[in-house]
Amino acid sequence: MLSQVISAVFLSLWVSSCVVSSVDDPYMTRALQLMSETPLIDGHNDLPWQLRKQFNNELNKVDLNTLSTTHTNIPKIKEGRLGAQFWSAYVPCDTQYKDAVRQTLEQIDVVHRMCQSYPETFMFATSSADIMTAFTMRKTASLIGVEGGHSLDSSLGTLRTMYHLGVRYLTLTHSCNTPWADNWLVDTGSEQSEHNGLSPFGKQLVVEMNRLGMLIDLAHVTVAVMNQVLNMSKAPVIFSHSSAYTVCPHKRNVPDDVLRRVNQTGGIVMINFYNDYVTCSKTAKLSDVADHFDHIKRVGGADIIGFGGDYDGVTRLPEGLEDVSKVPKLVAELLRRNWTDAEVKAALGNNLLRVMKEVEKVRDDLKNTKPDDVPIPYDEVKNSCRTSHGYQISGAVRPLGTLALLLTLALQALITVTA
């Protein structure tokens, strides 16, 4: 009996402290109000990769209500007011040319199973409309982004299949070049450029993503790829988890000239919380992350900003943003820095919703365009783990470059005329 009384007293004191805290911090009160009106949409969370690392995707052995070894679990999601999440279907670069497609499909599968296992918390989503439906139901809309073009094995058919399975963005590279795109490490000088940005097949893939209605994610690519995609994409692009290069000159971040181009093309930069990208050091504070928000707003405007925490994909997080539950503190900090309600709502989710709607519009406008079924040249992907079925490479019939083919036809015509 005494223990029950003591528990009741402690509960009463805890509730009272929460009320006092809310009254004492009008910015937090306002932040929570805005988050009740507009969904917080986060661009990148690696919980699915943690489920593989820690449990080999045996979701039946995990309870997301009590999981304590990750930045993300259901109580933290609810406390953080997470309205929508792009869950990352990520597999490392060492899977390239091996089993990347299989492993990525398994990551897509685990996101679907998360939604099926916790239907009271998650709603699987593939569209801007789905996000708002989930928000009205007080559920976290769960979308999928594939992090790294190596997951496609250079196949447009694989891209389309993943789209049909619910994938709504592709990060063109991770931390390795693909046979058709250069990754961000090229800009550090630690890797060599193989394509001067995008190869011809890489440009095919961008066009096909526009046709499908898949968001093009430029986190992890070189500046050359950023600019090439911004030049050619019919739809706005995203940076799902990148910060401002001027604030922290790390090559994973976005330079000012690109921020201005993102503004001109209607895209969005979803700001990363990883200490190394926030302060270019091992330590950071919540206010340092807010500095990135302020800088991007100054350079590109409030309409290109979003949240891309990179929770469960990084090893170091700022003081005050240690897990998913802490994000409302960052929203309150923006308000403390005189961000307007409209600007905060834009960053929370309205910007991403606008981008998704435009990508969906481009898809609808291209609905009568046939899928691109021209494969990448075999010589660009030939390796010991890849077969050549479908490619005509035996005997006298071999793939030719365009110039070689024209020269061959011209020679044949000359022989015919002189014969």
Q: Which two tokens stand for residue 102?
A: 């299989």
Question: Is residue 89 helix, strand or coil?
Answer: strand
Hey, CA dihedral for 127, 42, 104, 212, is it positive or negative? Answer: positive
Q: Is residue 310 annotated as part of the catalytic site, yes or no? A: yes
Q: Distance between CA 234 and CA 232 in Å, rounded?
A: 6
Q: Distance between CA 235 and CA 220 in Å, rounded?
A: 19
DSSP strands (E only) in 240-300: 268-271
| Residue of 44, 71, 250, 295 with catalytic role | 44
Q: Is residue 150 annotated as part of the catalytic site, yes or no? A: no
Query: Do residues 30 and 332 lie in contact, with contact meaning Cβ atoms separated by under 8 Å?
Result: yes
Q: Distance between CA 5 and CA 393 in Å, rounded?
A: 82
| Residue of 42, 71, 130, 174 with catalytic role | 174
| Residue of 187, 310, 323, 360 with catalytic role | 310
> What is the per-residue DSSP string for 185-237?
HHHHTSS--SSSSB-HHHHHHHHHHHHHTPEEE-TTB-HHHHHHHHHH-SS--
| Residue of 150, 241, 250, 295 with catalytic role | 241
Q: Hey, which residues does 86 pair with through a beta bridge?
A: 143
Q: Is residue 164 annotated as part of the catalytic site, yes or no? A: no
Q: Which two tokens stand for residue 168?
A: 């709504």
| Residue of 42, 46, 130, 291 with catalytic role | 46
CB atoms within 10 A of CB 34: 20
Q: Is residue 46 annotated as part of the catalytic site, yes or no? A: yes
| Residue of 71, 195, 220, 292 with catalytic role | 220
Query: Do residues 282 and 274 lie in contact, with contact meaning Cβ atoms separated by under 8 Å?
Result: no
| Residue of 42, 130, 147, 303 with catalytic role | 147
Catalytic positions are 44, 46, 147, 174, 220, 241, 310
